[in-house]
Structure 1
Amino acid sequence: MTWWKRGAVWWHVYPLGFTGAEPEAPQPGTPARHRLRRLESWLGYAADLGCSGLQLGPVFASETHGYDTVDHFRVDPRLGDEDDFDRLVRAARDHGLRIILDGVFNHVGRGHPKFGDPAWAHWFVPVDGGHATFEGHHGLVALNHDHPEVLDHVVRVLDHWLARGASGWRLDAAYAMPASFWHKALAQVRPRHPEAWFGGEVIHGDYIGYVAESGLDSVTQYELWKAVWSSLNDGNFYELAWALERHDALMESFVPLTFVGNHDVTRIATRLADERHLGHALAVLFTVGGVPSVYYGDEQGLRGLKEDRPGGDDAIRPAFPGAPGDLDPAGRPVHGLHRRLIGLRRRHPWLTAARTAVPHLTNTAMALESVGGGRLLTLLNTGQEPYRFPVDVAGLTVAERSHPDAADPCVVPAHGWTILTG
């Protein structure tokens, strides 16, 4: 693992929403709106939060939401142009931050110049007199990943933006693409960009098998995401323990991309039935193995419900103010909690590859022990009464907790949590 990936924590931003871009692409010839520059004023905020880089959502020319790409080599004019991208990369590096991009290569928008051109029909998959789409979305036309020209195109796009300063890629809808496609692509790209990171969006299925066959560095850990909020809502830590056992098995093969929120799901502050359990969710995220990602606004306690309807993503992809100083002060406590836990994570970079066991478990009380270059014990209590954990804390000291200092580190108050390190 190269130096910059060890201990990495991403601040995940959906640029079209963050910058308040129009919902649809402008007419051809409309001057570019240099909104990408607005992100520059937030780089210090991301660095101060403790993050080591930006995980950007789609920035390439598209028809609407960014996932209906029409030109992989051009910045969306609603965000700016290639010079704006170069500026952002330089500014990010000045703040010690790296940038990874969202690569949408399973499908393109119907406005893509090669779609509808008979000379390029082999780029797309014909079905019943029409064309295959991504999960039935008419505007998202599936690419033919068996054709060498499509492979060549994707390789050129990956190379182009890595050479321009990106440090890696989050590969959208990787689960809908053959793992063998990425194996072929990365065999060409990695020799030219050996330090680049490649993570795929995989929602369910054989994570280990997909990583092994594709050659990706990582995939999204949706199993753990679901278990975190579900176990807290249901008072059933056995579900989380089962997911962590699965997670620990993944850690034998690769380091997953972990999260409690992203651009596709209801925000964690809305998802949790009891707001007192937000700290529990974050304590799990930042004390188990993986590469954690914080979705912009979650660190401010923003709420937002994902709905299955046109425009149903708008609530979870809001515009941010022009500068950090314009944020609502009500978000400061949640921001401070994120900052402390990310700081703990960054002080223990071995946690990226940590292995986690569960030495004590009830429905509402759970102890997580993560080991690697050190030892860290996370105690979670969602019960209505204080709970004494029968665990060995010899050599450990309290690093973070949800409650004022107490004499006995093994006693966690109702709806409280404690993290001990040694």
Structure 2
Amino acid sequence: MTWWKQGAVWWQVYPLGFTGAEPAAPPPGTPVRHRLRHLEAWLGYAAELGCSALQLGPIFASETHGYDTLDHFRVDPRLGDEADFDRLVRAAGDHGLRIVLDGVFNHVGRGHPRFADPGSAHWFVSRDGGHATFEGHHGLVELNHDHPEVLEYVVGVMDHWLDRGASGWRLDAAYAMPASFWHKALTQVRPRHPEACFVGEVIHGDYAAYVAGSGLDSVTQYELWKAVWSSLNDRNLYELAWALDRHDALLESFVPLTFVGNHDVTRLATRLDDERHLGHALAVLFTVGGVPSVYYGDEQGLRGLKEERPGGDDAIRPAFPATPEELGPAGWPVHRLHRRLIALRRRNPWLTLARTTVPHLTNTAMALESTGDGRLLTLLNSGPEPYRFPLDISGLAVAESSGAGAADPRLVPAHGWAILTAG
């Protein structure tokens, strides 16, 4: 089993936002800003939260938001330089954290040198008399993944940063790329970096088939993300039960990357209609199989609405202060809840591979039984009245809860939850 499956929990950060970088690349000759060092003050915070990896959003030279890459071999000068990256890798290692990078290989910015070179036209996809763009974004031109030079380039980039100390890649927009491309790339990269992890961003479709065809370790579990918040909002936990059944099937072939928030979606605290159900969502995230990822600020209960407009991501990609001590007091109760639930998961690393069944279900009450090298029962009550679960809980006791009674752990308060474990 590779490192990233062994009870791992990721903390995802969008560096350009986190460090307060300018929204666009400065003019040539502008001094490098060493903002990656800003992250060093937060490594202890991530480690104390219980995380084992820091997953960085784009850090390579780009035109604006990081996904319009100009040079995959150079750190964005708004963030620093290669020496700053080396420092961050060393500092993260001192805190027991590995670094996972964001690989944007489906497309590049129009300012990429290859796009400006007439001799490199074969690097890009032509369509309707022009260049194909990613989901209609004019500034993002699609690479031609059928051409061997593009494959050679991507392999070179991946090897370069893995050699430099990265421990894995999150592969942006993998769903827009042929699975066969990643199979060819990883056939070359894996032998040189056998412990590295490779996770693809896949939103819709057959997750298991994409993993099998690509050779990736994992993909993002958007089905479960959607079911968690919408089932709570709609008072329809049957949706979550259906998604968990699908999730359980996925675990037969790979370990999904699970989350309730990331850099592309409205914050969980904003998405939920009832803030009392935040704990329910987190209880699911940390007690079912997979590798959980926490998006920076969610552990502080931050709010933010994603909007489909220019600058519509700004609210979910905010700057953070110089140190954790400068965070406001309002978020620390949510932080403590995250810390307790992550600690529970780290004490039960078997949960990474756990299978989950639903022994009891109503519209607003749900029991999740996760089993593997142990047994854990998660009870969710999203209804307005206390609910007593008609289950045999012999040998189980409350490990964490929003207020379940010790006298009868099966009795969960209105809008409450409880996690029961053996011993």
Residue 123 of structure 2 corresponds to: 123
Partner in structure 1 of residue 379 of structure 2: 379
Distance 1:352 1:160 in 2: 30
The Cα of 1:405 is off from its aligned counterpart by: 4.2
Could you say what the CA RMSD is over the residues aligned between the two structures, in angstroms? Answer: 0.7
Q: For each residue in 1:113-153, what CA deviation from the matched residue of structure 2 results, as whole angstroms up to 9, or x when unmatched?
A: 01031111100011222100000000000000000000000
Q: CA deviation at 1:351?
A: 0.4
Normalised TM-score (structure 1): 0.99
Residue number in structure 2 paired with 1:356 = 356
Map of 1:238 onto structure 2 = 238
- The SS at the match of 1:399 is strand
Query: Which residue number in structure 2 is paired with residue 77 of structure 1?
Result: 77
- In 1, the alpha carbon distance for the partners of 2:384 and 2:79 equals 49
Amino acid at match of 1:134: F
Amino acid of the residue matched to residue 126 of structure 2? P
- In the alignment, what sits opposite 2:152? 152
What secondary structure does 1:135 align onto? Answer: helix
**Greater mean alpha carbon deviation, residues 384-393 or residues 146-155:** 384-393
Q: What SS does structure 1 have at the residue aligned with 2:122? A: helix
Letter in 1 for 2:355: R
Partner of 1:294: 294
Match of 2:220 in 1: 220
Counterpart of 1:181, as a letter, is: F
- Cα deviation, 1:281-315, whole Å, max 9, x if unaligned, reads 00000000000000000000000000000000000
The CA deviation at 1:29 is 1.5
**Displacement of 1:3:** 3.8
Structure 1 residue 5: Cα displacement: 2.8
Alignment of 1:90-129 (within 5 A): 90-129=90-129
Contact kept, 8 Å, 2:398 with 2:406, in 1: the verdict is: no
Q: Which runs of 4+ in 1 moved over 4 A?
A: none
Query: Is 1:11 aligned to residue 11 of structure 2?
Result: yes
Q: Which amino acid aligns with 2:10?
A: W
Cα deviation for residue 189 of structure 1 reads 0.2
State the match for 2:332 in structure 1: 332
Letter in 2 for 1:103: G
Amino acid at match of 1:243: A
Residues in 1 aligned to 2:206 and 2:22: alpha-carbon distance in whole angstroms: 38
Name the amino acid aligned to 1:11: W
- Cα distance in 2 between the residues matched to 1:10 and 1:158: 20
Q: How does 1:255-404 map to 2 (within 5 A)?
A: 255-403=255-403
Residue 66 (str. 1) matches residue 66 (str. 2): yes
Match of 1:195 in 2: 195
Q: Spell out, residue by residue over 1:205-227, the C-alpha distance to the aligned partner (whole angstroms, 9 max, x if none).
A: 01010000000000000000000
- Partner Cα separation in structure 2 for residue 235 and residue 257 of structure 1: 25
Partner Cα separation in structure 2 for residue 4 and residue 347 of structure 1: 16
Which amino acid is the alignment partner of residue 179 of structure 1?
A: A
Q: Secondary structure at 1:370's aligned position in 2?
A: strand
Task: Tell me the TM-score normalized by structure 2.
Answer: 0.99
Q: For 1:225, what is the secondary structure of its paired residue?
A: helix
| CA deviation profile, 1:236-270 (whole Å, cap 9, x unmatched) | 00000000000000000100000000000000000
Q: Write the distance in 2 (CA, Å) between the matches of 1:35 and 1:5.
A: 30
2:3 and 2:313 map into 1 onto residues whose CA distance is: 35
Worse overlay, 124-133 or 35-44: 124-133
* Contact map agreement 2:404 2:413 (CA 8 A) in 1: no
Offset of 1:187 from its aligned partner?
0.2
Unaligned runs of 5+ in 2: none
SS in 2 for 1:318: coil
1:226 partner SS: helix
Query: Does the residue aligned with 2:156 lie in a helix, a strand or coil?
Result: helix
Query: Shift of residue 391 of structure 1?
Result: 1.2
Query: Deviation of residue 82 (structure 1)?
Result: 0.3
Unmatched runs of 5 consecutive residues or more in structure 1: none
Task: State the distance in 2 between where 1:122 and 1:3 align.
Answer: 38
Counterpart code for 2:242:
W
Question: What count of residue pairs does the alignment treat as equivalent?
Answer: 422
- Residue type of the alignment partner of 1:344: L
Residue 191 of structure 2 corresponds to residue 205 of structure 1: no
SS of the aligned residue for 1:58 comes to coil
Mapped to 1, the partners of 2:104 and 2:10 lie a distance apart of 19
Q: Which amino acid aligns with 1:301?
A: G
- Given that residues 182 and 214 in structure 2 are in contact (C-alpha distance below 8 angstroms), is that contact kept between their aligned partners in structure 1? yes
| Cα 1:3–1:105 shift into 2, 3 Å | closer
The one-character-per-residue Cα deviations of 1:70-101 (angstroms, maximum 9, x if unpaired) are 00000000000000000000000000000100
Residue 419 (structure 2) aligns with: 419
CA contact (8 A) 2:7 2:348 kept: yes
Determine helix, strand or coil for the equivalent of 1:38: helix
* 3-state DSSP of counterpart to 1:138: coil
Q: How far apart are the structure 2 equivalents of 1:16 and 1:114?
A: 24
Secondary structure, counterpart of 2:192 in structure 1: coil
Aligned identity (percent) is 84
Q: Does 1:168 align with 2:168?
A: yes
Post-superposition shift, 1:31? 1.1
Tell me the amino acid that sits aligned with residue 237 of structure 1: L
Aligned with 1:293: secondary structure? strand
What CA distance in whole angstroms lies between the structure 1 residues aligned with 2:4 and 2:78?
31
Secondary structure in 1 matching 2:240: helix
What is the distance in 1 between the residues matched to 2:157 and 2:268? Answer: 33
Matched, 1:26 2:23: no
Aligned residues of 2:251 and 2:355 also touching (Cα < 8 A): yes
Indicate the SS of the match to 1:191.
helix
Deviations for 1:342-362, whole angstroms, at most 9, x for unmatched residues?
000110000001000000000
Give distance in 2, aligned partners of 1:368 and 1:404.
Answer: 16
Q: In structure 2, how many angstroms separate the alpha carbons of the residues matched to 1:185 and 1:318?
A: 34
